[in-house]
Structure 1
Amino acid sequence: MSRPSASLRTAVVWEVLHGALERRVKSAGRERLDVLDTGGGTGNFAVPVARLGHQVTVVDPSPNALFALERRAAEAGVAERVRGVQGDAHGLFDVIERGGYDAVLCHGVLEYVDDPADGLRNAVAALRPEGGTLSLLAAGLGGAVLGRALAGHFTEARHALTAPDGRWGEGDPMPRRFTAEQLTELVGGTGLTIEAVHGVRVFADLVPGALVDTEPDALDALARLEAAASELPAFQSVASQLHVLAEAHEQRDQ
């Protein structure tokens, strides 16, 4: 079964991130920000951020992903503003500068690291001591439970609901999932101020693509529905992903 486009599924995150970067430009007093994208892969967010005029460093463990990133940045005309570096969250400061970034994107990382708290601390330590913005995106528990149940896999849904890591079984490709409370607790533990929490892909992963393709204006209507539901805790609890935006406003212990 086909699903709505990837751009729809990330629209809520991009809108929040775009606004946060605009505010960071004003507070930093510079038109160009230094942005770190940990686990940025092929540049789904890095390239659009570079199009805004910012300098983006992508750290990812996959050479193939970094090669695709280089090609994508070149095709978008932003190759000079995108730098790919091979590395991971655990050894982040082996490959990039500590405290050198105005904004850090930590998207799809905490699910895969051995110690999410340690991985997040590294991401936060990459922010400038005088302040910075963190964009955190991670897999949501509720969306997986709902998805398995609607597919008729009730035992797997119950297993995900009760498992400490939120996995529905041995065949689950996702190593870990989070609730909104778990993510906000992790972020709060770093000393950052949480500005917003959004549910991502509340409906997009459940709606058959055929419905969106055949109904006039359905894609726009679905996008508006996603945006409206994303800020409501009741719908965040069943979202496929969770997005937390946080800010560092003052000197932190590095």
Structure 2
Amino acid sequence: MVHCQLGSGITASFWHDNWTSFGPLIELVGDRGPQITGIHIDAVVSEALNGDGWRLDSMRSRSPTITLLRACLPNAQEVINSEVDDTFVWIPEPGRGDGSFSASSTWRALHHYPTVVYWHKAVWFTGRVPKHAFISWLAARDRLTTRDRMLSWGLTVPANCVLCASHSESRDHLFFDCTYSTQVWTFFVNRLHISPPQGFEAILRWLTAPSRDANVTLLVRLIFQAVLYLLWKERNGRVHSSVEKSPGAIISEVKHLIRLRLDPIARRQVLAPGEFSVLAVWLQSFD
């Protein structure tokens, strides 16, 4: 972060200061650097010079450490001929900053913000149901304990899908290549008159902007997460018991959960004359 703009080299530490484009040289070559080169650990840059250039240039050693250091050092004559003092400036990130210290630039340098993933809006949207969002987050990261993953861990489990028993179970199969889950998902998207793409990751990308209507966008995101949550719950239930629900029963549960979620959301909506609440749009499509 603190970079030395080298002048005459009478102040900057040869080993410890950040005066080359490669950072502190001691970090580059390790603690044995001073011993190998004969340049003292506390030496300043000017002490690594002789009358003609860098002391390292006159060494006949084939040491990889010395070869590396030679490649890192700037033009010696510029340092020898300089009458300017070494100066230290604050550069929090390479190529950024004007050299002035600020608390905000320090914070940004120390706390890097991660890149927002493409499925962020499909999972962490305003109005989500937390437990539904959590399962969706695991699914988006392919971290659900599907049978393909369990087999990859060396566990002895059947490979077939718990819901349809026709294909190998994976995240992409469960959502929504499986004949069972397809019935549930298709019911809702058909009622909303929307056409999502095929494939789980394609659906996640589509959910960033599935409709120009904000109410429809919220509904389809809520539905998507509720469907994932209940399908995963049904899948796990079948693993541990013989009780099975039909796709129609899952559809009814999704409708019930969404209806409960929409009441408080609709009450908070501020509508212009002629606009419909998200609850009204839901009732038009599903009641």
In the superposition, the TM-score normalised over structure 2's length comes to 0.22
CA radius of gyration, larger in:
2
More helix by share: 2
Question: Higher relative contact order by CA 8 Å / sep ≥ 6: 1 or 2?
Answer: 1
Greater share of strand:
1
